[in-house]
Amino acid sequence: MSANAATPREHLAHQLAEAVAEALRTDLTRQARALLVVSGGSTPVPFFAALAHQELAWDRVDITLADERWVAEDATDSNARLVREHLLVGKAQQARFIPLTTGHSTPEEGVEEVAGRLEQLTWPASVVILGMGGDGHTASLFPDSRELSLALATDATVVAVRTPSQPQARITLSAERLHHALRHVLHISGDDKRTVLGRAMSGDDVRELPIRAFLSCPLAIYWAP
Ligand SMILES: O=C(O)[C@H](O)[C@@H](O)[C@H](O)[C@H](O)COP(=O)(O)O
* Ligand 1 center–CA 109 separation, angstroms: 24
Q: What are phi and psi of 139, to 5 degrees?
A: 45, -135
* Ligand 1 center–CA 132 separation, angstroms: 6
Mean pLDDT of 94-115: 98
pLDDT at 10: 97
pLDDT at 3: 52
Give the strands of the sheet with 158-161, arranged side by side.
Answer: 67-69, 170-173, 158-161
- Pairwise CA distance, residues 85 & 115, whole Å: 24
* Residue 205 forms part of a structural domain: yes
* Residue 64 forms part of a structural domain: yes
Query: How many structural domains is the chain composed of?
Result: 1
Question: Atom 14 of ligand 1 has which residue's CA nearest to it?
Answer: 41
Structural domain that includes position 85: 8-223
* Residue 2 forms part of a structural domain: no
CATH number for the domain that contains residue 47: 3.40.50.1360
* Residue 141 forms part of a structural domain: yes
* Residue 1 forms part of a structural domain: no
Please give all residues whose beta carbon lies within 6 A of any atom in ligand 1, as ranges. 39-43, 67, 79, 131-133, 137-140
* Residue 3 forms part of a structural domain: no
Say whether pLDDT at 204 is over 80.
yes
- Pairwise CA distance, residues 222 & 131, whole Å: 10
Please state, rounded to an integer, the average pLDDT across all residues of the chain.
96
* Residue 14 forms part of a structural domain: yes
* Probe target for ligand 1 pocket from 39, 64, 194, with the most ligand atoms within 8 Å of CB: 39
Atom of ligand 1 nearest to the CA of 39: 9
- Pairwise CA distance, residues 103 & 118, whole Å: 16
pLDDT at 138: 98
* Ligand 1 center–CA 152 separation, angstroms: 18
* Ligand 1 center–CA 90 separation, angstroms: 24
* Ligand 1 center–CA 43 separation, angstroms: 7
Atom of ligand 1 nearest to the CA of 139: 7
* Residue 195 forms part of a structural domain: yes
The tens digit of pLDDT for each residue in 144-194 reads 999 999 999 999 999 999 999 999 999 999 999 999 999 999 999 999 999
Say whether pLDDT at 5 is over 70.
no
User: ipTM of the predicted structure?
Assistant: 0.96
pLDDT category at 6 given cuts 50, 70, 90 is: confident
